[in-house]
């Protein structure tokens, strides 16, 4: 079976090198397998081709347990990039990737506020209502204050784990298209819920059988979805503004108890 080649003559510098580094960094023993990197250059990335199949409950449960192992491999700091990568990165589709900071922080809340929410809301604000911008800014202040910090160490996360980046193959799940960095493990899990994931309850069962989540994780989903929703506002328009506002309000409601 021939390899799969991604190309983009207008790709920003290092785009494919970072994707390759992310796939290799995420491919830890016992974790979720990642697409095999064959080669890359400034304009293309060649990967081993994957055969797609319909997911089963057993495969989704195994995906969850393996994802817990991937996360447990850890990262030096919140926001740090794959091993050996010392530049910023990218988030979003190949056709229009957005800049993504890979500057490390000791605290998750500080990282999420300064390197994710603040830059993205500034890009998105012309498509958001004033009330939504104020809500996002209030979440940023809560993050800076440490209201969402919980002692979880930096996890090794995919960073863009929506269902389209989860390939179901005859041998189980294989991950593609990462925005890999050190982050909070609930971020990947919240991304899976954003646009639908087959048998997501089974994924969560498998995950929690290996690394149980802290109580209240369901109420923090909006917090972790806020960044990708803001990115969708930037990339695809104000149709996502209502979801971003709801996510910000959910995060604030959780912080206020």
Catalytically annotated residues: 160
Burial degree of 132 (CB within 10 A; 0-12, 13-18, 19+): buried
| Closest to 120 measured CA to CA, from 223, 195, 243, 229 | 229
Give me 257's structure tokens. 């108890």
| Closest to 186 measured CA to CA, from 143, 156, 216, 224 | 224
Say how far apart CA 175 and CA 191 lie, in whole Å: 14
Say how far apart CA 23 and CA 20 lie, in whole Å: 5
């Amino acid at each position: 079976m021939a390899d799969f080649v991604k190309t983009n003559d207008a790709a920003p510098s290092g785009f494919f090198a970072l994707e390759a580094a992310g796939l290799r960094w995420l491919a830890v023993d016992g974790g979720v397998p990642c697409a095999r990197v064959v080669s890359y250059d400034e304009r293309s990335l060649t990967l081993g081709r994957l055969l797609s199949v319909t997911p089963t409950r057993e495969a989704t449960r195994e995906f969850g347990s393996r994802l817990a192992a991937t996360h447990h491999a850890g990262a030096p700091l919140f926001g740090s990039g794959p091993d050996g990568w010392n530049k910023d990165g990218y988030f979003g589709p190949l056709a229009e990737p957005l800049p993504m900071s890979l500057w490390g922080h000791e605290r998750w809340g500080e990282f999420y506020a300064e390197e994710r929410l603040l830059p993205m809301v500034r890009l998105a604000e012309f498509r958001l209502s004033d009330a939504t911008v104020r809500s996002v800014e209030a979440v940023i202040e809560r993050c800076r204050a440490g209201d969402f910090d919980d002692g979880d160490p930096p996890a090794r996360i995919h960073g863009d784990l929506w269902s389209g980046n989860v390939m179901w193959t005859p041998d189980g799940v294989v991950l593609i298209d990462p925005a890999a960095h050190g982050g909070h493990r609930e971020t990947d899990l919240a991304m899976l819920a954003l646009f639908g994931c087959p048998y997501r309850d089974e994924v969560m069962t498998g995950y929690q059988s290996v690394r149980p989540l802290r109580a209240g994780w369901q109420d923090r989903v909006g917090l972790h979805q806020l960044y990708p929703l803001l990115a969708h506002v930037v990339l695809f328009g104000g149709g996502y503004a209502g979801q971003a506002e709801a996510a910000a309000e959910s995060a604030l409601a959780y912080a206020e108890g």
